[in-house]
Amino acid sequence: MKAWQAITHPPSSPTWRRAGIKVPKSKYDRYGFLRPTEENLEAWEKTLEICRAMKAEVCVIQTPAAFGYTSENLRNADQFFSTIRRDNVLIGWEPRGTWREHLDSVKKLCDKHDIIHVVDPFRSKSVSMHSLAYFRLHGIGGKEVNYRYKYTDQDLTRLKEIVDAAFKEGKEKVYVLFNNVAMAEDAARFINILKKSGLL
């Protein structure tokens, strides 16, 4: 499950407009960007409630490129992850933007707070020591996403090799989520490849 974007995205983002949630301008700096504020922590509690209702094993917190690496964002993320309750729900973090150039900080945060570093394996490698791997596939090409991309058989064979390597590195479980327009079809094709190879 993906966390409510009230936690990660500021009220000025299209996410909020689409949801139709109005926030007074005086409270804009109380939401999003993993700020350890009362409002953000309340939004997390609501997310956790839904995780429990859905019996979700993992909750993915995807931060936008606008929440790039800065000392303030690093401090906020550290404090946020230190403060939140989990109730046995595992946390995955998919940082976008300039965090990719600061993987040492991503690794420290993930390992300190027992967080899964969520990545698109065609774009980067996970750096966390967590026993689970979580891959979110956003299409190949483009900057960080290319939702219209349809994975080729060659891509899916490469993905199988990546999953196999994760198990060989000691991962106990590997999640793969297709986040493209052809997600259902691509996922079904990938399942067939895994079955044929004996990985599923």
Q: Digits of tens for pLDDT over the chain (200 positions)?
A: 999 999 999 888 877 777 777 777 777 888 999 999 999 999 999 999 999 999 999 999 999 999 999 999 999 999 999 999 999 999 999 999 999 999 999 999 999 999 999 999 999 999 999 999 999 999 998 788 899 999 999 999 999 999 999 999 999 999 999 999 999 999 999 999 999 988 87
Residue 57's Cα: distance from chain center in Å? 13
Residue 42, token pair as written in the block: 């309340």
d(CA 189, CA 192): 5
The β-bridge partners of 134 are 175
Q: Are strands 173-178 and 132-137 parallel, antiparallel or unpaired?
A: parallel
pTM score, two decimals? 0.93
pLDDT of residue 21: 76
pLDDT of residue 199: 80
